[in-house]
Amino acid sequence: MDNYITGETVRRLRAARRMTQEQLAERLGVTGKAVSKWETGRGLPDIALLEPLARALRISVPELLSGEQVVNSNRAANLLRSPLYVCPVCGNVIHAGGAAVVSCCGVALPPLEAEEPDGEHRLVRERFDGEYFFSIPHPMGKDHFISFMAYVSTGRFDLVKLYPEGPAEARFYPWGGGCLYWYCNRHGLFREKL
């Protein structure tokens, strides 16, 4: 795949259909924030959303994809110390120690912006045998699931891949402080300080 849908294409087609970000989000079962991220190059719609997105914008998937080539326009995000990237096509998770130009499956990936968890994506923290035990009470169906949890502390990055139909939970050895990240394939990246 040489092209993936760009935020500019989503914005242009949405505006042409006289839809707000919220209206488009509602049709796709995502949040207005998620649509806003796509349109501003801070995230990409998961591949499972391409068909519904094309339907909502009343064009074909090939037309949707044939927009201009994706470029990482979010230069400011290069200042992020430790950006995370997720390929919307194959689900590959990439963690860079510093500024990087990252692509996967022919798609240029923007560094993801993490947000505060909402009720649907809240983190449940427990401690067993001196270890962190985290779970996310979130659906784990094949179209909507938590695809990884990552514990990031000073100098360490510990990632646990999660799968549809499996539990959204993971154990980590506490290295002291840091953050937990988790990723919903529809709603994006969330972060909580530990």
Site for Fe ion, rule CB under 5 A: 184, 186-187
Closer of 53 and 108 to Fe ion (Cβ): 53
List the structure tokens of 90: 């194959």
List the structure tokens of 10: 């989503």
Instruction: Report the nearest approach of Fe ion to the CB of residue 188 (Å).
Output: 8
Closer of 108 and 136 to Fe ion (Cβ): 136
**Beta pairing partners, 179:** 152, 193
Rounded CA separation 155/178 (Å)? 10
Q: Residue 157: is it exposed, middle or buried by C-beta count within 10 angstroms (0-12/13-18/19+)? A: middle
Residue with tokens 């087609």: 13
Closer of 70 and 168 to Fe ion (Cβ): 168
Instruction: Report the nearest approach of Fe ion to the CB of residue 153 (Å).
Output: 25
Closer of 53 and 184 to Fe ion (Cβ): 184
Helix or strand (DSSP H, E) at 191: strand 188-193
Q: Which residue is nearest to Fe ion (CB)?
A: 184
Instruction: Report the nearest approach of Fe ion to the CB of residue 186 (Å).
Output: 5
Instruction: Report the nearest approach of Fe ion to the CB of residue 156 (Å).
Output: 27
